[in-house]
Amino acid sequence: MSATQRKGKADRELDAIGAILGALEGLEGESIQRVLDYVFERLSIARPNRSSVSPPVTMIPTPLAGRETGRQTSIRDLKDEKKPSSLNQMAALVAYYLSEVASEGERKEAINASDLERYFKQAGFKLPRAVSQALPNAAAAGYFDAIGNGLYRLNPVGYNLVVHGLPRTHGELAPVTRRAKKNGRR
């Protein structure tokens, strides 16, 4: 095969890859998997054995996450990656998502209770009994700063929790929060 033929074949392959990625743009994890499963079946191609495929690389989500693959990371994808185990952790994750990962039109520097409700539902995370108390509680845990009118901004502690502290590894203990003892004497 000549160099020109090899280059032409490579160009067609790259064009095909671009078309596939373009068609998958805007879809999320499970949707993409269903599409790929259908394509493999339709073309009678054996699906790769998942045990022989190396595990996916977990990336720390950044404002550029998702752009490398041509699709936006969803709050559900981020929740599945970071595996928050408490309401406070999930609230911090929502604030991180909206300030760092969400699309430009969706970004916010501060969140409120209605944002939590909306993104908890999108992520498939159990809603708290009192959504209005979730952010004050997470602020009391040290993850947010109150900025007024029911708005809260993720602070460095909350940011570090999401980026560096989640997911917690098996057996890892959560940091202990020490409360000042109340002394009855003055």
158 in any annotated domain:
yes
Q: pLDDT digits over 156-174, tens only?
A: 999 999 999 999 876 555 5
Share of the chain above pLDDT 70, in %: 73
149 and 89 in a single domain? The answer is yes
Q: What is the pLDDT of residue 67?
A: 43
Q: DSSP string covering 30-57, please?
A: HHHHHHHHHHHHHTT-PPPPTTTSPPPP
Distance from C-alpha of 123 to C-alpha of 182, rounded to nearest angstrom: 39
177 in any annotated domain:
no
79 and 154 in a single domain? The answer is yes
156 and 94 in a single domain? The answer is yes
Contact 34, 24 (CB under 8 A): no
84 and 155 in a single domain? The answer is yes
24 and 103 in a single domain? The answer is no
23 in any annotated domain:
yes
Query: Could you list the residue range(s) of the whole structural domain that residue 137 is in?
Result: 75-165
- pTM of the predicted protein model: 0.57
Q: What is the pLDDT of residue 62?
A: 47
